[in-house]
Amino acid sequence: MITSNNESISDILKSIDEGKTQLPDFQRGWVWEDGRIRALIASISNGYPIGAAMFLQTGGEDIHFKYRLFEGVDKSKENVEPERLVLDGQQRNTSIYRSMYSKKPVETVDSKKKPIKRFYYLNIPLCLDTLIDRIDAVDSVPEDKIVRENIGRDIKLDLSTREKEFEAHRFPLNIVFDSQEMMRWQRQYTRYHNSDEVDENWDKFYDNVIVPMATYQIPVIQVGNDVPKEAVCQVFENVNQGGVSLTVFELVTATFAADNFELRKDWEQIWKDLQRHRQLYHKKYQSFTGTDFLTALTLLASYDKFNSSNDNKPKAVSCKKKDVLRLTFTDYQTYRDRLLSGLNEAVKFLEEQRVFTAIDMPYTSQLIPLSVAFAIDKNLWFNAANSRKLEQWYWCGVFGELYGGANETRYVTDITGLMEWAKDDNAAPDTVRRSNFHASRLGQLYTRNSAAYKGIMALIMKAQARDFIKGSQMDFASYVGEATDIHHIFPQHYCEGQHIDRALWNSVINKTPIYARTNRIIGGNAPSKYLSSIERNHGVEPEKLDEYLASHMIDVEAIRTDDFDTYFDKRKNALLDLVEQATGKPVAGRDEQEAEEPSSYDLAEMNEIEWDVE
């Protein structure tokens, strides 16, 4: 059951201090900086809303999370079994607890992320001044409670004793929820000043600031311990749209922690090893995540159990979010290394398809069923006929553009279909049956935003494309070592000068993989001019250069005479031939005379800056 009601901050803080409210293991550390804490204090003192909190009752059969105390809570409470865990509101509740409840200095950071320790005070006169922003009445002072200036030589504010607090009219915020200590402080404060004006101001401060803070309430969503894990995840995502999302990986991490296993550390070690594969990691891009790994492992375990002779086998193969959340630590141990072996085989497969880096991956999501297919039985795909089937499935997924959305169902239908297809030539998987590529789509591919665009480039290299100057094939070593990238064949500068339609010259039909140095030599010249330069200045024989051009599906006669129209039509058909060969399916619309007009999305994509150096 999920309920919603208001709860006073004082009750929440007391529960945190007693260890009855704790944090699940998946919650990250407290990270709020000093300025943000002051702003939170100001909001509470004004009675402004600070957002809802969400708690999860402990003791459920479906959810077993490792838990830990809030930062700042006395370690003697570590043996207390919590009654509830905070799913949303950790940062706010920790900030309130540390600044307004705990008697220890708050360990935070300044605006430059430098570690500092602070106590927080309210400036009583400024709090009563309606023309002053409340945040300006919140003082943040160092651990010794002395604020210095002039490189530490002069004391600006000294609150190191109670008497100095009284003298400066500064109220310590960490006693606001301690009624006895607050009353003691008030008596000593008014006695210290022995002034009717101070008495009157204290009454106003108490009524307008202290009471609202002490009675402040926040909306609380209480998730019962009978709610399944997948519902917990969904509720969290709905409530916490502006914060860090609660991923499947975080929830499984917390579940495994109850078995004294640190999934996050294990994944960090796995990822450290996987980073050697350029298909999985780029300095700004990660194509395979911890959640992907768990999804693939769940798919592998589910398939294995479904095809076992066990009487308790599942009714169907499945790897939806709820299935991943039900993954047991025993299953993780059983299938972890097997999946990693399958993933390594999948990377080898991608290299054979000439997919060399993470940014060149058409669909990272296809790694999940691909790695599972190898994990189930890698020897199955060493059979030549089955290897061709696996390649056909892969390219049908790319050019059918079928892996761009929610894919859990497709993972299952494809992995079961692939395994059946390996035994029965008539049992093609769903992706192969559904794949369809229209000829007009080729003229709408302009940048790496499209999986099919990346697929075309990989097929060109797989067809043994050679560099225009070196003549070497673009294998993994040369692709990376020569800083290979995608560039225009008829250069942009030349095309613009000839007023050739941008929709034509900037499409994938006029692009190909070329070594970086070769591209610099090509520059923005007409093809006939840069080809002559290659022959004259770089020692490439005309016959050899013709071979190199042809290896890129380029009509030699057309490019040597700068005949863009003939070149374009012939290369388009040559690329469509590659798609047909890879997918094993005819390309629709090849006989249509006019290509479809680009959509607004395609036009936007077309105008993006490509990586050419001309």
pLDDT of amino acid 597: 45
Write down the pLDDT at residue 591: 79
Instruction: Please state, rounded to an integer, the average pLDDT across all residues of the chain.
Output: 89
Reference 444, options 590, 602, 608, 589; nearest CA is 602
Looking at residue 251, what is its pLDDT? 79
What is the tens place of the pLDDT at every residue in 362-384?
Answer: 999 999 999 999 999 999 999 99
Structure confidence at residue 344 (pLDDT): 96
pLDDT in tens, 462-508: 999 999 988 888 777 677 777 778 899 999 999 999 999 999 999 99
Q: Residue 610: is its pLDDT beyond 50? A: no
Q: Is the dihedral of CA 13, 17, 23, 27 positive or negative?
A: positive
Would you say residue 605 has pLDDT above 60? no
21-24 and 84-88: which strand pairing?
parallel
Residue with tokens 């070196």: 470
Say how far apart CA 76 and CA 264 lie, in whole Å.
27
pLDDT tens-digit map of 172-181: 999 999 999 9
Alpha carbon 585 to its chain centroid, in Å, reads: 35
Report the percentage of the chain scoring pLDDT > 70.
Answer: 92
Distances from the Cα of 13 to the Cαs of 176, 212, 470, in angstroms?
Answer: 12, 16, 71
Q: Residue 332: what pLDDT? A: 96
Please determine, for residue 136, whether its predicted confidence score (pLDDT) is greater than 70. Answer: yes
Q: Look at residue 132 in the predicted model and tell me its pLDDT.
A: 93
Going from N- to C-terminal start, the domains of the chain cover 2-219, 258-435, 440-606
pTM: 0.72
pLDDT tens digits along 327-355: 999 999 999 999 999 999 999 999 999 99
Q: List, for residues 503-558, the tens digit of each pLDDT value.
A: 999 999 999 998 888 888 888 899 999 999 999 999 999 999 999 999 999 999 99
Confidence of residue 153 (pLDDT cuts 50, 70, 90): confident
User: Is residue 613 scored above 50 in pLDDT?
Assistant: no
C-alpha dihedral sign at 506, 512, 516, 518: negative
- Residue 238 confidence (pLDDT): 60
Q: What is the pLDDT of residues 380-412, one digit of tens each?
A: 999 999 999 999 999 999 999 999 877 899 999
For 225, the enclosing helix (H) or strand (E) is none
